[in-house]
Structure 1
Amino acid sequence: MMNNPKPIREYLVPGKRVHLVGIGGVSMCPLAEVLRGMGLRVQGSDMTESDTVRRLRGLDIPVAIGHNADNLGDCDFVVRTAAVHDGNPEIAGAVARGIPVYERAQAWGAIMQHYPNALCISGTHGKTTTTSMCTHIFMAAEADPTVMIGGTLPLLHSGYRVGNGDTIILESCEYCNSFLSFFPTVAVILNVEADHLDFFKDLNDIEHSFHQFAQLVPPAGHVIVNADNQGAMDSVQGLEHPILTFGLERPADCTASNLHEEDGLPVFDVLIHGQPYAHVTLHVYGRHNVLNALAAAAAAHVLGLPGSAVEEGLAAFTGAGRRFEHKGTYHGAEVYDDYAHHPDELHALLTTAKELPHKRLVVAFQPHTYSRTAKLFDRFVEELKIPDVAILAEIYAAREQNTLGISSSDLCRNIPGAIYCSTLDKVTEELRKIAQPGDLILTVGAGDIYRAGDKLLQEA
């Protein structure tokens, strides 16, 4: 971090003025509300007007549109998102004036120290769904949790919640080692795979980061790990903390018994150390969601929640936003949207979708970042051979420049019958042209591919 001789916790006191750069972001907006609730004077800036920005203004939090050093005013310190670089005029202005600049993760880390229970959900994929499941469970238990999720949860009508209970539940991302600024009392590791290779050197480097994350848990805390995932198990090798495992394929402390399907949906008993804990009926598809549910149940168990809260919470969970989210029907074809952007996530999504009733599986996929596409190229090709029709939108750049000279058209050339679309409008046009009654259409990716499906449905 920069220009910050004191730990951020010394600034988290009533009366201090904080400026949030990128305040409209999915994890910055709840941060603004939490800091305001702690008695700080909160202000911020964002690049565009949005419902989130308008919500914050409704709470008397001033938000400037556009980034300018003048926006800092008389703030005492600055918090930025990972997407805001040192060259941002507000960051440069703060440094020039000697105003401390902290990362968003540092702020959340300091905040969670105020909670007896800090439940942090980590993993290469499944974080948003599992954090959402945990939220449902803790809400069913009337635990009044504070929550920060990297997506929208219908239960909350947003991606966050500011509660008054003794538990904070956070989706915890490994990118740029952000989660190493956290203070978990319960650390969940869902899986560890090769991803974010624009930051990490390789899988060993990623496993080392997750190992450091698990080490942050105090001796009286809990580390919960997926026994079925080798990377997750490798990441906790040599850890002195006691580990609670969950899984389906290998022996585990928390597992599913009598697992079967009713109307295509998973039903099972949760056993912990061989003892019945909860009887679960999920309303989301797929074996990967059974694992996510086991992780959430294990977390609830170690924090003393009754099995009945797990049953009630998971029964009410129908998915987080952009996680196999049903968007509507177009000319007899069902349209879904999903955030999957890693080959493992694609595999789980597409194999689950294949099992659902449909005539053809039509997938419009938008790769996310040039570096991920290049480094996992062959695996993307293999997964994108699963659907009956694959439509490839151009790569979503996110934080990157295309220094690799790679395009989705390169993927297309390796996938028989795949269709390349240089713009989202062309994706919508292609979907409109090929959609047939009985098709299952999926728009997939972590960028803005969902817009293609939304536009299609506007024309329905």
Structure 2
Amino acid sequence: MFKNKKIHFIGIGGSSMSGIADIMHNKNAIVTGYDLVESKITKRLVKEGIDVYHKPNLSYIDNADIIVYSAAINDNFEELKYARKLNKKIYERSEFLGILMQEYENVLCISGTHGKSTTTSMIATIFLKANLNPTISIGAMLPLINGNYHIGNNKHFIVEACEYVDSFLDFKPTSAIILNIQTDHIDYFKNLDNIIKSFNKFVKLLPKNGYLIVNNDDKNTLKAVCNHEKTTYGINNDSNYMAKNIKFDKLGYPSYDLYIDNININRVNLNVLGKHNIYNSLAAIALSHKYINDISLIVSALKFYKGIERRFEYLGKFKSANVFDDYAHHPNEVESILDLIKKTKHNRSIAVFQPHTYSRTNAFLKDFANILKDFDCIIIAPIYAAREENIYNIKEDDLLKLIKEENENVVFIDSFEKIINFLDKKVQKDDIIVTMGAGDITLLAHMLVGDNNG
């Protein structure tokens, strides 16, 4: 379908876009791409033989058969406007990914407000260890595949399915997971009811013989799938796949007895921290079991999963403090990080939080304050606007004031360099510093440990 087609990607440096671009490259398409800045991702694409540049170049649009653009690209961007003027075939990323899915026999889509990248990575690990060689697309870097995608065969395509701007409604799933549904992306969905409706539409994309797996402990998920045949997993409510007799070792790693349809099958030992990863692993086991009969193989393969980039990722030392980096940008995710830190031996907890988007900061202001106040020290970095204008008149000071009502040890610092200077004077032996946010706060984390390649 794509052999020798000239495909141009606008925003090729994005985690999903880069993976799709390289998949196309390996399908013998002629791939080019634009991205605003050079990064580890764009450098890797260039090494693969893909022509990537960082200034608009309309000649690439002239030559292209197909244009694929990221949702992060402004409608007025000159390459996109020019492509429309020429009446080129133009696809938004998710739309093009939906077309690509038609080339695969089984399309496994992992959706939910939280845990998508982790669960997708767990399933990818299981399939790889089972020698099934799936094609994989993840929204984070998985060390096992040295990236965020893997080009395998056309039998299984394991893909993270994001709900933002209803993008997952372009997909063609044969199997799907819904991990959880919570209020998020308020700039688009406006309210929780609209999010639930979106997931309900997603479920309806499954064919008659499709396989749906849902979190039986999540009431919003159950609302979205109430009239659909489903396989369930959970901890609290009776489910097809259950974790019982849960224990945490001294380092905080969980283990549990796996029950399938009320039969004790095996003991599961995880090499990732947190109760939320028990749920993620149950979802991964349930979906993998649809395609892999040997449950012992599935359970043993999970031991090889040790996490993905930016999920409470240990980076190294800053002076005598331990530095962790996390993608957390929703109150529930920040709360999960706090729970992990409580289970980790440390002196003081220092949160460096970069609020992500004005709409999310405005919607969850009190929730963020209520959780962040429980860190020993809180540093607020400037709000990362991403795609938004500040129509809410929200400021970092609004968050600071709310936290300060409960915890005096909170400051707003307006640059990464100043944050480093502040921490240089502040840190003590065995402190934990955790940088959190979905913007560029990860750069600060890498600066702290002397790594300029973040």
Superposition TM-score, scaled by structure 2 size: 0.95
Q: In structure 1, what is the equivalent of residue 210 of structure 2?
A: 221
Q: In structure 2, what is the equivalent of residue 259 of structure 1?
A: 246
Distance 2:82 2:293 in 1: 48
Q: CA deviation at 1:276?
A: 3.9
Q: In structure 1, what is the equivalent of residue 397 of structure 2?
A: 409
Q: In structure 2, what is the equivalent of residue 245 of structure 1?
A: 232
Q: Which one-letter code corresponds to 2:419 in the other structure?
A: V
SS at 1:318 equivalent: coil
Cα-to-partner distance string for 1:202-221 (whole Å, 9 max, x where unaligned): 00000000111111111111
SS at 2:96 equivalent: helix
| Contact kept? 2:358, 2:388, Cα under 8 Å | yes
Q: CA deviation at 1:407?
A: 1.7
Q: CA deviation at 1:278?
A: 4.0
Q: In structure 2, what is the equivalent of residue 79 of structure 1?
A: 68
Distance 1:420 1:85 in 2: 30
Cα-to-partner distance string for 1:324-370 (whole Å, 9 max, x where unaligned): 10011223221111111001111111122112211211111111000
| Contact kept? 2:285, 2:299, Cα under 8 Å | no
| Contact kept? 2:356, 2:386, Cα under 8 Å | yes
| Contact kept? 2:105, 2:154, Cα under 8 Å | no
**Structure 1 residues 83-102: aligned runs within 5 Å:** 83-102=72-91
Q: In structure 2, what is the equivalent of residue 236 of structure 1?
A: 225
2:414 corresponds to which of 415, 419, 422: 422
SS at 2:183 equivalent: coil
Distance 1:228 1:386 in 2: 26
Q: In structure 1, what is the equivalent of residue 113 of structure 2?
A: 124
1:435 aligns with 2:427: yes
2:365 corresponds to which of 359, 371, 377: 377
| Contact kept? 1:153, 1:159, Cα under 8 Å | yes
| Contact kept? 1:105, 1:178, Cα under 8 Å | yes
SS at 1:284 equivalent: coil
Distance 2:93 2:397 in 1: 36
Distance 1:396 1:440 in 2: 23
SS at 1:198 equivalent: helix
Question: Residues 391, 51 of structure 1: CA spacing in aligned structure 2 closer, same or farther, 3 A cutoff?
Answer: closer
1:351 aligns with 2:342: no
Distance 1:54 1:420 in 2: 34
More displaced 10-residue stretch of structure 1: 27-36 or 339-348: 27-36
Q: CA deviation at 1:311?
A: 2.0
| Contact kept? 2:213, 2:286, Cα under 8 Å | yes
Q: CA deviation at 1:309?
A: 2.9
| Contact kept? 1:278, 1:310, Cα under 8 Å | no
Cα-to-partner distance string for 1:153-172 (whole Å, 9 max, x where unaligned): 11111111111251111111
Q: Which one-letter code corresponds to 2:377 in the other structure?
A: V
Distance 2:127 2:48 in 1: 26
Q: CA deviation at 1:433?
A: 1.7
Question: Residues 116, 277 of structure 1: CA spacing in aligned structure 2 closer, same or farther, 3 A cutoff?
Answer: farther
Aligned-residue Cα RMSD (Å) equals 1.6
1:293 aligns with 2:281: yes
Q: In structure 2, what is the equivalent of residue 180 of structure 1?
A: 169
Q: Which one-letter code corresponds to 1:104 in the other structure?
A: R
| Contact kept? 1:45, 1:71, Cα under 8 Å | no
| Contact kept? 2:103, 2:154, Cα under 8 Å | no
Cα-to-partner distance string for 1:76-133 (whole Å, 9 max, x where unaligned): 1211111112211111111111112101111211112222211111111111111111
Q: Which one-letter code corresponds to 1:261 in the other structure?
A: F
Distance 1:409 1:364 in 2: 15
More displaced 10-residue stretch of structure 1: 340-349 or 260-269: 260-269
Q: Which one-letter code corresponds to 1:345 in the other structure?
A: E
1:445 aligns with 2:437: yes
SS at 1:285 equivalent: coil
SS at 2:297 equivalent: helix
Distance 2:140 2:264 in 1: 32
Q: Which one-letter code corresponds to 1:320 in the other structure?
A: I
Distance 1:19 1:196 in 2: 28
Cα-to-partner distance string for 1:272-311 (whole Å, 9 max, x where unaligned): 2123444321111111010011010111112234223322
**Structure 1 residues 315-354: aligned runs within 5 Å:** 315-354=303-342
Q: In structure 2, what is the equivalent of residue 5 of structure 1?
A: none
Cα-to-partner distance string for 1:16-46 (whole Å, 9 max, x where unaligned): 2211111222111221122223332222222
**Structure 1 residues 50-65: aligned runs within 5 Å:** 50-65=39-54
More displaced 10-residue stretch of structure 1: 70-79 or 173-182: 70-79
1:456 corresponds to which of 434, 448, 451: 448
| Contact kept? 2:323, 2:445, Cα under 8 Å | yes
Distance 2:426 2:226 in 1: 50
Q: CA deviation at 1:48?
A: 2.2
Q: In structure 2, what is the equivalent of residue 7 of structure 1?
A: none
Q: In structure 2, what is the equivalent of residue 209 of structure 1?
A: 198
- Deviating above 6 A after TM superposition, structure 1's stretches of 4 or more consecutive aligned residues are none
Q: Which one-letter code corresponds to 2:161 in the other structure?
A: S
SS at 1:150 equivalent: strand
**Structure 1 residues 32-47: aligned runs within 5 Å:** 32-47=21-36
SS at 1:43 equivalent: strand
Question: Residues 57, 332 of structure 1: CA spacing in aligned structure 2 closer, same or farther, 3 A cutoff?
Answer: closer
Q: Which one-letter code corresponds to 2:56 in the other structure?
A: H
- Identity in percent: 39
